[in-house]
Amino acid sequence: MADWILSVLMLAGAGLLAGGVYLIRTGRNKKQGGLMLVASAVMFANVAIWTVPTSGSAPQAGSKIPDQPN
């Protein structure tokens, strides 16, 4: 479920980024375009915070790299 939510956040952030750049470049609504860019940056930062492992977190199953090859 968490993977799905992070994927939707990334897609929404990309959409906001593209829409914000479009609005700023066309000169239609620069204030709204800037706010869309800020919102996309917040979404990308949230995804980065949720995906970066911490020092105390346990590795997920199957992600351990063996020290010695077999």
Name the residue range of residue 19's domain.
Answer: 2-51
In a domain, 61, yes or no: no
Residues 53-64 have pLDDT tens digits of 777 766 665 555
* Residue 57, in any domain of the structure: no
Dist CA 18 CA 1 (whole Å):
26
Task: Say how far apart CA 22 and CA 6 lie, in whole Å.
Answer: 24
The tally of domains found in the chain comes to 1
Helix axis angle for 2-26 and 30-51, nearest 10°, is: 160
70: in domain: no
- Residue-wise pLDDT tens digits, 11-31: 999 999 999 999 999 988 999
Q: Given this model, what pLDDT does residue 55 score?
A: 75
Q: What is the pLDDT of residue 66?
A: 57
The rounded distance, in Å, linking the Cα atoms of 59 and 15 is 32
Residue 16 covered by a domain: yes
Q: What is the pTM of this model?
A: 0.72
CB neighbourhood size of 16 (10 A): 21
Structure token pair of residue 10: 């990334």
